[in-house]
Amino acid sequence: MADTASRPPRVSARRAARPPAPGGSPRRRREAVAGYTFLIPWFIGLFGITLFPMLYSLYLSFTDYDLLQSPQWIGLENYVRMLTDDPQYWNSVKATLVFALVSVPLKLAVALGVALLLYRDRRGVGLYRALFYVPSLLGGSVAVAIVWQTLFGGQGAINEILGIFGIGGRSWITNPSTALGTLVLLAAWQFGAPMVIFLAGLKQIPAEMFEAGSLDGAGRFTQFWHITLPMLSPVLFFNLVLETIAGFQGFTAAFVISGGTGGPADSTLLYTLYLYLRGFGDFQMGYASAMAWGFLLVLGVITAIVFRSGSLWVHYADEGEH
């Protein structure tokens, strides 16, 4: 891994994959047929399970569809209602934005911090890495959300602990000003996946850079700021993109902790939860489809912005060599 990092691997990889002679020979055609044949199961998945339902949902977003009877074409009505006549929709947009904007940076910061502590080979470090990863294994599960609900409930463990220190507890889950915070905390706690990726990234930074840095008298913080962070920026970027998308799609915890309502007072009504409630709770699948497409559009724009911003701060090792 260490040697591929210093030299762009894509060139060699592409060259190796390229056929020896330009196509046309019968043998090559046979190979192509065999290749596509092997791909058929994947194509069935792509068209049958991904592409068709997606495009169908685009169609549904222009209809009034109650899941049980045929959809009725209503044009843009769902979109108009979404944007102009649904206060709950905007509550859900607000909750989702707050959730993603707070939980994603927090999660990445924790992941990076723990990765920095764990990336040097010390005795037992493998065990610690595994232990810190455990919450992510449980992450999306309903069980953890239920535990969370109990921990932060009015008569839960968090309040018991606070009580020892004489701090008057409150019901964190049922208060609209703190309920979303508990969800953010739950999301940040599941930092295992980005942590593992950070660890791999950290291990690739050549040790000579740090040696050279300390010879020049750079302290630990300077080294972190000027060596670790720039060298890690592609990995950070990757994590940022993935976590942003995952953050906006948060559902399970909000659903379980709020008892499937998005309450109290819509404070945990994350976008996908609201979408679910409209689609499956109220039989408004046309409207829910419109919400999904609005979401896709906005998420696409946000991701594009993150990508654009990447050129300002992401440092690719291979670019420096030109």
Show contacts with another protein in window 185-204 (CB under 8 A): 190, 192-194, 196-197, 200-201, 204
CB of 160 to another protein, least distance (A): 16
Angle between helices 87-118 and 192-204 (to 10 degrees): 40
Closer of 79 and 283 to another protein (Cβ): 283
Site string for another protein, 71-90 (x = CB under 8 A): x-------------x-xx--
3-state SS assignment for residue 160: helix
Distance CA 267, CA 320 (A): 47
Stretch that binds another protein, among 8-16, 32-40, 118-126, 212-220 (CB under 8 A): 8-16
- How many residues at the interface with another protein, by CB under 8 A? 81
Bridge partners (DSSP) listed for residue 64: 72
Q: For the packed helices 52-60 and 285-313, what is the interaxial angle rounded to 10 degrees?
A: 120
Main-chain phi, psi angles of 18, to 5 degrees: -65, 140
Q: Which is nearer to another protein, 34 or 73 (CB)?
A: 73
Q: In whole angstroms, what separates CA 258 from the centre of its chain?
A: 21
Is the Cβ of residue 31 or residue 318 nearer to another protein in the bound state?
318
Q: Does 292 sit near another protein (CB under 8 A)? A: yes
Let me know: does 111 contact 188? Beta carbons within 8 Å: no
- Can you tell me the distance from the alpha carbon of 43 to that of 31, in angstroms, rounded to the nearest whole number? 18
Return the number of the residue (149 or 213) whose C-beta is nearest another protein: 149
- CA-nearest of 316, 107, 303 to 194 is 107
- Positions 200 through 259 that interact with another protein (CB under 8 A): 200-201, 204, 234-235, 238, 241-242, 245-246, 249, 259
> Residue 214 Cβ, how far from another protein at the closest point, in Å?
24
First-to-final CA distance of the chain:
22
Q: Which two tokens stand for residue 112?
A: 């990076």
Comparing CB distances to another protein, the nearer of 102 and 255 is 255
Smallest gap from residue 19 Cβ to another protein (A) = 20
Instruction: Check if the beta carbon of residue 205 is closer than 8 Å to that of residue 227.
Output: yes
- Is-contact 95 270, C-beta < 8 A? yes
Considering only residues 94 to 123 of the shown chain, the ones binding another protein according to CB under 8 A are: none
Question: CB-wise, 126 or 300, nearer to another protein?
Answer: 300
Quote the least distance from Cβ 9 to another protein, whole Å.
5
Could you say which residues in the range 125-164 bind another protein, by CB under 8 A?
136, 139-140, 153-155
Helix axis angle, 87-118 to 125-138, nearest 10°: 170
What does residue 269 show for φ and ψ, rounded to 5 degrees?
-80, 75
- Tally DSSP H helices, then E strands, for the chain: 17, 2
Candidates 318, 320, 321, 322; binder of another protein (CB under 8 A) is: 318
User: What minimum distance in Å lies between the beta carbon of 210 and another protein?
Assistant: 18
Nearest to 240 by CA among 201, 207, 297: 201
Q: Which is nearer to another protein, 113 or 219 (CB)?
A: 113
Among 56, 90, 128, 225, binds another protein (CB under 8 A): 56
Q: How far is the CB of 193 from another protein (least distance, A)?
A: 4
Closer CB to another protein, residue 36 or residue 307?
307
